[in-house]
Amino acid sequence: MNNEMIAGFTATTHQDAIPHTERKKQVAQPAVQLPEILFITSYPPRECGIATYSQDLIKALRDQFDQSFSLRICALEAGQMNYEYPEDVKFTLDTHDPAQYRALAASINKDPQIQSVLIQHEFGFFHQAGEDVFLQFLYSLSKPVVVVFHTVLPNPNDNLRTHTRSIATASDALIVMTANAANILREHYGVAGNKIEVIPHGTHLVPHLDKNELKEKYGIAGRKVLSTFGLLSSGKSIETTLDALPAIVSQHPEVVFLVIGKTHPGVVKVEGERYRDMLKARVQEMGLEQHIRFVNRYLSLEELLEYLQLTDIYLFTSKDPHQAVSGTFSYAMSCGCPIVSTPIPHAKEMLSNDNSILIDFEHSKQLAEAVNRLLGDEHLRTEFSNNILQRIVPTAWENSAIAHAMLMSEIGLKHATGTSFPLQFRIPDFNLAHLKKMTTPTGIIQFCKINQPDLSSGYTLDDNARAMIATCMYYELHKKSEGLEMLRTYLDFVGYCQQPDGRFLNYVDENGAFTPQNNETNLEDANGRAIWALGYVISRGALLPADITSKAEQTMQRAFTSLQHIHSTRAMAFIIKGLYYCNLYKESQQYTHLVDVLAARMAAMYHNESDADWNWYEPYLTYANAVLPEAMLCAWVATGKMEYRQVARSSFDFLHRHIFTENGIRAISNKSWMKKGEEPEWHGEQPIDIAYAALALFTFFQVFRSHEYADKLKTAFNWFLGQNHLRHILYNPCTGGCFDGLEATHVNLNQGAESTVSYLLARCTMEKYERLYGK
């Protein structure tokens, strides 16, 4: 048997809708025309919260689904605004001109590329032309339509109720951002619940930079920072905070309050800078010049997020009790800011006693008390920050994009047109930033607190062996020195863990000392992983510098004599894989013989436990399950013994029946495992199990060339990108790390070595597959 089988979119003052692209060069089209989703929304450079919202959502959708559909924009304008839009703006619409609504509808209906329409709705956008004009526009569209309500008012009068219900009737679906808004639509407007989708306001994943370094950068080192941001207007009630500042400063003289953002353009048109000037005069009267700064600019996203990351307490003091959602509030949450807020519905839904303090509207005394409490208790601020991150990360733009994409795809099937599009996740570019951050000259640190390496957790052979394989795979694909440098570090760590008798210890503390845990834990699996890693590196000897290959070979030779005494099922499987890989570089009868010995043991275990309903090696499915049938397949390729082939396929098919569903893949729960004859519990899924499944699927595809394995490989990788039971990302594109686990209701936000390396293993495997066999 040959071992090499396994390797390798204005309506202007004219009556007709004039496509924006006739005034600008045509947008470059992909080779294959993708179905279009047309966003009808305000859009930058218009300065408007909904414009920014749409820009962020569109970017997230493109980043994740650029091969599923194209996104074009109809930019809403209040009169002739003459903005210079980006090329993806296909139409513009003067919302004051009724004729342009008719022209726009005609253009949409006759455009065969437009598959569906997504409308960002705020009543202020469409009231000038009249309520009936917007409704007539909706009813005239022949394409599937989704309307996003940014405001849902409770206790509507008859006119508002009728108008809103008419919008709902004309739409295929409605999106709101809070459960409270959905409840109001159902109970106050009588909208059917099955037409309403709750998709929270998106938020940005942030790298959580060092707060003190950011304060130094912005000239506020040593200060305790309170902040608020957004387009300024009297509705933000900044004076509530000003009136509270004296009581705050008296206890915390280092406080500075940042009021971030320009005055709202709509306010400037009506009253100029009257509100800001009033606030500045008040600051002078109160003698607070050293404790407040006005950042009177429209900040870039990067700068805004840095201001929020340096914030110690975020203040939200809206006067409007019916403000359904605040994007500014959401952004502050994404940066882990402890929050003091007035009780708008969004705040009451998202915040709780363990992550924030709610105060009454325009109540300066309560605000001062809340701020002083938090400033005086650093532990409480840290606890609030961690809890708020856990609450907000599910609303990341990446997750919002998944929810929007799935909804837009589903409504196409339900609409009279009966058209839809398959969703294809885009494979992210490589980002080794988090792996580098976790790697010291000693090796890769075991755990992280969120995305900050926890050096006190020390190092393990397990993590460094897996990292060795991942960086070797990365170097094999990209030939970049960064991969080689980290590979050397991990190989050195593996060598350091080897003892004089050839065996390996697993646990090393932050100072490089072996810990007592090595004497309390069975180390066979860790030893098996080391052999797998060494074998993989050796198998790439033709690509790697000689010193790396030589060191790996010497370490393998010293370990070999102890391997035949190992009986742990997974350890034997890892060893079989490692020795199999060694033989790809330089065939050894010794290695082949031991592969046969270990595979025979595993086959015997399989036959002992297997029956008509249970085709497995043990009376339970636990962790790293896919490694077992993969190892048996390697043993067949190495020895030619058909028994190993039969056991490999039978056990792999059995595993698939339990972990693959019509919606994707689910890992065996690490909470209770799956026991023979018992109904399993689910959730508690670990990235490492998905990575091992991906590796095994690639191996089985290489041998059998079955498209079922290729399709399941893509499904397994997509688990990291959001094709899982929560529809949440596990891979963090901001840091390059991977969240530690998928629970029943949430994602574990820590990004430790095991999960991050597991993602990288699966990512490299997908690239190897596409390079060898295409998409």
The pLDDT tens digits for 159-186 are 999 999 999 999 999 999 999 999 999 9
Any idea which of 97-111, 287-301, 590-604 has the lowest mean pLDDT? Answer: 287-301
- DSSP label at 154? S
Burial 554-577 (b: 16+ CB within 10 A, else e): ebbebbbeebeebebbbbbbbbbb
Secondary structure of residue 455 in the 3-state scheme: strand
The mean pLDDT of 62-66, rounded to a whole number, is: 95
Residue 295 pLDDT class (50, 70, 90 cuts): very high
CA dihedral 606, 607, 608, 612 (to 10 degrees): 100
pLDDT single digits (tens) 472-504: 999 999 999 999 999 999 999 999 999 999 999
pLDDT in tens, 302-357: 999 999 999 999 999 998 887 767 778 888 999 999 999 999 888 888 888 999 99
Q: Which residues of 495-512 are buried (b: 16+ CB within 10 A; e: fewer)?
A: bbbbeeebbbbbbbeeee
Q: Please state the rounded mean pLDDT for residues 236-261.
A: 97
Question: Dihedrals φ, ψ of 257, to 5°?
Answer: -110, 120
Range in 324-338, 521-535, 593-607, 732-746 with the lowest mean pLDDT = 324-338
Q: What is the 3-state secondary structure (H, E, C) of 356-421?
A: EEECCCCCHHHHHHHHHHHHCCHHHHHHHHHHHHHHHHHHEHHHHHHHHHHHHHHHHHHCCCCCCC
The mean predicted confidence, pLDDT, of the chain is 92
Which pLDDT band holds residue 393 (cuts at 50, 70, 90)? confident
- In the structure, what pLDDT confidence band is assigned to residue 23 with cuts at 50, 70 and 90? very low
The pLDDT confidence band at residue 419, using thresholds 50, 70 and 90, is: low
At residue 68 the predicted structure's pLDDT band, cuts being 50, 70 and 90, is very high
Taking residues 637-653, what's their average pLDDT? Answer: 98
Q: Which of 187, 699, 737, 204 is nearest to 453 (CA)?
A: 737
What confidence category does residue 89 fall into, taking pLDDT thresholds of 50, 70 and 90?
very high
Which residues 6+ apart lie within 8 Å of 680 measured at CB? 621, 658, 668, 669, 672, 673, 674
Whether the Cβ atoms of residue 341 and residue 358 lie closer than 8 Å to each other: yes
DSSP 230: S
Average pLDDT over residues 113-122: 95
What percent of the chain is predicted at pLDDT more than 70? 95
Distance CA 618, CA 622 (A): 9
pLDDT of residue 14 exceeding 80, the answer is no
pLDDT(18) > 70: no
Cα 73–chain centre separation: 25
The SS3 call for residue 612 is: coil
Whether the predicted pLDDT of 139 surpasses 90 = yes
**pLDDT at 682 > cutoff 50:** yes
pLDDT confidence of 416, banded at 50, 70, 90? Answer: low
pLDDT at 30 exceeding the cut of 50: no
Q: Tens of pLDDT along 702-711?
A: 999 999 999 9
Q: Kind of pairing, strands 145-149 and 114-121? A: parallel
Say whether 103 sits in a helix, a strand or coil. helix
Beta bridge partners of 316: 341
Q: Which of 118-127, 189-198, 504-513, 761-770 is the least confident region?
A: 118-127
Q: How many CA atoms lie within 13 A of 592 on its CB side?
A: 16
Query: What string of DSSP letters covers 14-45?
Result: SSSB--GGGTSPPPPPPSSPPPEEEEEE--TT
Output the six-digit token pair for 595. 């592969």
Phi, psi of 481 (to 5 degrees): -65, -30
pTM assigned to the model: 0.91
Q: Looking up tokens 């924030």, which residue turns up?
A: 356
Q: pLDDT band at 27, cuts 50/70/90?
A: very low
pLDDT at 158 > cutoff 70? yes
| 736 DSSP assignment | S
Query: Residue 229 pLDDT more than 50?
Result: yes
Rounded to whole angstroms, what are the CA distances from 310 to 314, 386, 501? 10, 15, 52
Are the C-beta atoms of residues 424 and 414 closer than 8 Å to each other? no
Interval 6-26 mean pLDDT: 35
Mean pLDDT for 720-735 is: 97
Strands 89-94 and 741-742: unpaired
pLDDT of residue 19: 36
Across the range 44-64, mean pLDDT stands at 94
Q: For residue 13, what pLDDT is reported?
A: 28
Weakest mean pLDDT among 120-124, 257-261, 720-724: 120-124
Question: pLDDT value at position 417?
Answer: 60
Neighbours of 492 (CB within 10 A): 16
Q: What is the pLDDT of residue 751?
A: 97
pLDDT above 50 for 728: yes
Residue 45: asked if its preceding bond is cis (omega within 30°), the reply is: yes
Which has the closest alpha carbon to 145: 126, 167, 172?
172
SS3 letters across 176-219: ECCHHHHHHHHHHHCCCHHHEEECCCCECCCCCCCHHHHHHHCC
Task: Please tell me the distance from the alpha carbon of residue 259 to that of residue 215, in angstroms, as a whole number.
Answer: 15
